[in-house]
Amino acid sequence: MAEEDANSLDENGPDLNTKFGLRLRGRKGALKKKNVYNIKDHCFIPRFFKQPTFCSHCKDFIWGFGKQGYQCQVCSFVVHKRCHEYVTFTCPGVDKGPDSDDTRTRHNFKVHTYASPTFCDHCGSLLYGVLHQGMKCSACDMNVHKRCVESVPNLCGCDHTERRGRIQLKITCTGSKLVVEVKEGRNMIPMDPNGLSDPYVKLKLIPDTDGVKKKTKTIKASLNPIWNETITFELKPEDKDRRLLIEVWDWDRTSRNDFMGSLSFGISEILKSPADGWFKLLTQEEGEFYNVPVPEEGVDLVVLKTQQQRYVNGGDLMFQIQQCGKFKEPVALLTKNPTKRLGCGPRGEEDIRIHPFYRRIDWDKIEAREVQPPFKPKIKHRKDVSNFDKQFTSEKTDLTPTDKLFMMNLDQTEFNGFSFLNPEFVQHV
């Protein structure tokens, strides 16, 4: 009987259990290795998120089915699949030997209660709870989970995000010609329902008096467009006070074109040093006044922030401050206590000159008006107040009544030479 069963097995082949056992013995219990993508010492792996999650690089929602995004196995940093290769800082969980953290860029996290739904700026998930949901940095307003504090890199004041992507440019000025090479864009913001965009670049000089605008070709259905176009502007002597505005727009066939990002360069800055490299795309308001370069490969953000403080050799103050993000040093000028306020001590002027933030400023150039101002308000007439908040300018003037006896005791000769004197304050004795 046993011989008949054995013969039947040989004739019909091994059953399902036998096949499964042979397959296990063949792999010896091995598991499939996950795909790991190493970027700046980050170990990114595809990840399925069980709750709504936002990308910590572009701050956009991570949508889709299956494994929607990537997460670092070491520091839990969460990004889109399209964003992971553009992360600009080194993984903070990597052992670099002795403590090399810069104390000037450490976050100052404090327990915070949020009145509205808020998502973690590191792992992208919701800060859940009713009270004390997470930690908030008092300097840069970064919001994170308590469990994420140890994994957050020490980049307080350094903006490592790219909300609108980046663009590669080369801008030179030869004689009276401004030559702009628009090369390519990377990781552009999706504007169409299919998750893609139709970007083109528009260039003009601002303030725009003659209405001259130049455009590149439109690249259809792409988030990484390649233009490779050269555009030339004829400069006049008075154009040195203008700015070159570069905007990226999404072309639409049936509706109005959508804004994607912008940046600008001062003509006087280009005359001193040509621009060449990758630059972040900013909002429409921010792009009119400055640009933010993307740090080159191998350049640490903390080192970049320190180097950018050399704006003081005649550069644009606001231009350089915005490149590095939010500085904590100028707060010393706003300290409420006069004894602790920078510049209010016995050596006030010297204290400002030797301060690390201001020590390389060329004060002679500023005095000679050789430094381009960061912002030039547009004034229509002498009494134009459009540059001020309407709530402030619409307030009714209410002068505090003065004590006439007190005014009579003041030495009126101190006001000699003033262009205007309030007749009600002047007392003739």
DSSP single-letter state for residue 392:
H
How many other C-beta atoms can be found within 10 angstroms of the C-beta atom of residue 309?
18
Structure token pair of residue 424: 């009600």
Domain contains 417: no
Burial 50-73 (b: 16+ CB within 10 A, else e): eeebbbbbbeeebeeeeebbbbbe
Q: What is the Cα–Cα distance from 278 to 170, expressed in whole angstroms?
A: 9
Query: Higher-confidence residue: 180 or 428?
Result: 180
- Residue 192, SS3 per DSSP: coil
Bond prior to 338 in cis (omega within 30° of 0): no
Is the pLDDT at 335 greater than 60? The verdict is yes
Q: How does residue 106 score in pLDDT terms, banded at 50, 70 and 90?
A: confident
Pair 338, 312 in one domain: yes
Range of the domain at 326: 296-392
* 222, β-bridge pairs: none
User: Last residue of some domain: 129, 162, 195?
Assistant: 162
The one-letter amino acid code at 413 reads T
Q: Into how many domains does the chain fold?
A: 3
pLDDT in tens, 384-413: 888 888 888 888 877 777 777 777 777 777
Contact 77, 122 (CB under 8 A): yes
Q: Residue 200 is part of a domain; what is its CATH number?
A: 2.60.40.150
Mean pLDDT, the chain, integer: 80
Token pair 């009126």 is at which residue? Answer: 412
Together in a domain, 289 and 301? no
* Contact in structure between 187 and 195 (CB atoms under 8 Å): no
Same domain (yes/no): 190, 158: no
Query: Quick check: 307 and 281 in contact, CB under 8 A?
Result: no
Q: In which region does residue 33 sit, left (phi positive, over 0), alpha (psi from -120 to 50) or beta (all else)? A: beta
- Tell me the residue length of the chain: 429
CATH classification of the domain holding 54: 3.30.60.20
Looking at per-residue pLDDT, the higher value among 104 and 138 belongs to 138
Residue 372 DSSP one-character state = P
Which domain-ending residue is among 264, 293, 322?
Answer: 293
Is there a domain that residue 321 lies in? Answer: yes
Residue 348, domain member (yes or no): yes
Task: Tell me the mean pLDDT in the region 293-306.
Answer: 60
pLDDT band per the 50, 70, 90 thresholds, residue 179: very high
**Residues 206-249: pLDDT tens digits?**
887 777 899 999 999 999 999 999 999 999 888 888 899 999 99
Q: Confirm whether 22 is domain-assigned.
A: no
- Give the H/E segment covering residue 78: strand 78-80
Do 127 and 237 lie in one domain? The reply is no
Angstrom distance (rounded) from CA 259 to CA 165: 13
Alpha carbons 362 and 368: distance in angstroms, whole number: 10
Stretch 320-325: mean pLDDT: 47
* Same-domain check for residues 130 and 61: yes
- What is residue 99's predicted lDDT score, i.e. its pLDDT? 45
Q: Rounded CA gap, 95 and 39, in Å?
A: 15
222-223-229 Cα angle (round to 5):
75
The predicted structure's pLDDT at residue 112: 95
| 87, 42 contact by CB (below 8 A) | yes
Reading phi first (left if > 0) and then psi (alpha if -120 to 50, else beta), residue 278 is in beta
